[in-house]
Amino acid sequence: MLLVAPAHAAAPDSSNSIEMFVGEARVLPVSPTRIAIGNGKIISASSVAKNQLLVLAEGGGTTTLHLWLKGGAEKIMTVKVREANLQSTLDDINRLLSGVENVKARIAGSKIVLEGDMVSDTNQARAQQIQKMYDDSVINFVGKVGWEKMIYLDVKVLELTTKGSRDLGIRWDSDINGPHAGTIADFYSNDTFRYLPSPEQSRLQTDGALIPNKLWPPQGFINLSTLITSRINLLVQDGEAQVLAAPSLSTRSGSKARFVAGGEIPLPVSDGFGQTRVEFKEYGVILDVTPVSDDSGAIYAKVDVEVSSLDRSVTVLGIPGILKRKSTAEFNSKDGETVVLSGMYSYEGSKDVQKVPGMGDVPLLGGLFRNKNKVSATREVAIVITPRVVQATPNPDPGAKDLNKQKLYEFDKRVRDEGLLPKRPAPLTVTE
């Protein structure tokens, strides 16, 4: 008996893959006799000429294109249609990321993925803007923890005082010695302890009168011995300068560094319900610095400085007022360049006249009987800032590690030599 198997179509070729974007038209060099499409909403296909098959991308997604060719051959193709031309979008994104360190873009499926670690806050913001530009086509996987440069700030807050202190004139004493009165008598005396001109004499003879060894009865006396003095003052004082604070601050680029040297004064505050709470107001030297550094090493900084002190001449409910000098400035500088900010002035003055009553008001000659003391002080607060950029690397080189060890050793030695910390005991040695 002869068994004849039914004829089967030839086995299909290995499947091919095509990637397209919505709206794209592509011509394939085939002339199929029959066409089957898995999802007609994604692509459409038609023969336009001999050996030319036109495929149109209608919507995003993945589908299958099955072609039957002449001679019984079959061809199965997988077609992926993206919502946009990702390659063109990727090229645009790479141009936007030009010069941005540690951020890369790649195509993953139907999306473009942004990836990166140890990215600065500025570059993170740029990646977020790119994601917003391309809406859902871009996924941002850039690390959220920014890796910014460290900026070291050497700050000195100085108070420059220009004093005009003049003490000129003749100052007379304000009082003189008055009369003196007293009584003298000897209650007991003897020849042994009596002073005599010579040992042979028992009495001292003066003008024929004899002075007894014992003075009795008591004798009184009244006298006047006084002196009026004056002093010529020719004193002139110059200015001086003092360092109010000299902090060394470190902060990340774009972050704020804050320094406070002073105290807090309690202020009672009543709310709308009649309850009293206490708020504290800072005073002293208050410094806020926000530096930002770019890749070239240029530094931009915003500085807020306040120098205040208690004013006990003005009190409310026993709480003193606050004298305040405050300034805000912004500047650009290079790495290691020193910037001086000044201009916060305050003025204090007083005048005192001392004179002899009546005589000090006499024209022309009155200058001999009066003294003038005039004090004027102009105070200026100046801030000297030297910023330096410190490269922040996750794995510092050995030279940087050695430098850090040296700095720690110098700091430890200084604080122990000044007695701020107890000295370390000498290592024990064991001898056998």
pLDDT at 78: 92
Give exposure, 43-69, as e/b (b: 16+ Cβ within 10 Å). Answer: bebeeeeeeebebbbbebbbbebbbbe
- Spacing of C-alpha 414 from chain mean position: 24
Phi then psi dihedrals of residue 357, to 5 deg: -55, 130
Question: What's the pLDDT at 4?
Answer: 37
Is position 136 within any domain? yes
Strand partners, 115: 104, 141
pLDDT for 348 equals 66
Asked if 74 contacts 66 with a C-beta cutoff of 8 angstroms, the reply is yes
Asked if the structure places residue 138 within a domain, the reply is: yes
pLDDT tens for the 432 residues of the chain, in order: 333 334 344 444 445 888 888 888 899 888 888 899 999 999 999 888 888 889 999 888 899 999 998 888 889 999 988 777 777 888 888 888 887 877 888 888 778 888 887 777 778 788 888 888 887 778 888 876 656 778 888 888 887 776 644 555 555 555 666 677 777 777 766 665 554 444 454 444 444 444 556 666 777 777 766 555 555 455 444 556 677 788 888 888 888 899 888 888 888 888 777 788 888 888 888 889 999 887 777 889 998 988 888 888 788 878 888 888 888 888 888 888 888 887 666 666 666 777 777 777 777 777 666 777 776 677 777 888 888 887 655 555 555 566 566 667 776 776 666 555 555 554 444 444
Establish if 369 belongs to a structural domain: yes
Do residue 90 and residue 78 come from a single domain?
no
Task: Look up residue 143 and give its amino acid.
Answer: G
Within 10 angstroms of residue 297's Cβ, the number of other Cβ atoms is: 12
Q: Are residues 364 and 327 in the same domain?
A: yes
Cβ neighbour number for residue 223 with a 10 Å cutoff = 8
Q: Are residues 295 and 346 in the same domain?
A: yes
Question: Are 265 and 374 contained in the same domain?
Answer: yes
The CATH number of whichever domain residue 47 belongs to comes to 2.60.40.3440
What's 100's domain CATH number?
3.30.70
Are 263 and 359 part of one and the same domain? Answer: yes
Q: Are residues 290 and 311 in the same domain?
A: yes
For position 306, what pLDDT does the model report? 86
- Judgement on whether residues 244 and 365 belong to the same structural domain of the protein: yes
Does residue 7 lie in a domain region?
A: no
* Same domain membership, residue 102 and residue 74: no
Q: Is residue 217 assigned to a domain?
A: no
Whether the Cβ atoms of residue 263 and residue 283 lie closer than 8 Å to each other: yes
Separation CA 393–CA 232 (nearest Å): 69
102 falls within a domain: yes
What's the pLDDT score for residue 37? Answer: 92
Say yes or no: 261 and 381 in one domain.
Answer: yes
**Burial of 142 by CB count in 10 Å (0-12 exposed, 13-18 middle, 19+ buried)?**
buried
**pTM of the predicted structure, to 2 decimals:** 0.46
Residue 181 inside a domain? The answer is: no
Q: Can you say whether the dihedral through the CA atoms of 360, 361, 362, 364 is positive or negative?
A: positive
Q: For residue 287, what are the domain limits?
A: 157-163+236-396
Q: Are residues 71 and 136 in the same domain?
A: no
The pLDDT of residue 6: 41
Joined together, the tokens standing for residue 278 give 């206490």
For the chain, the domain total comes to 3
Contacts of 105 (CB under 8 A, 6+ apart): 90, 93, 94, 97, 112, 113, 114, 115, 138
- 385 with 281, same domain? yes
d(CA 343, CA 303): 14
Burial 383-422 (b: 16+ CB within 10 A, else e): bbbebbbeeeeeeeeeeeeeeeeeeeeeeeeeeeeeeeee
Q: Do residue 114 and residue 67 come from a single domain?
A: no
Give the number of other CB atoms < 10 A from CB of residue 73: 14
How far CA 259 is from CA of 159, 235, 331, 408, in Å, comes to 17, 40, 19, 22
CB 287 within 8 A of CB 155: yes
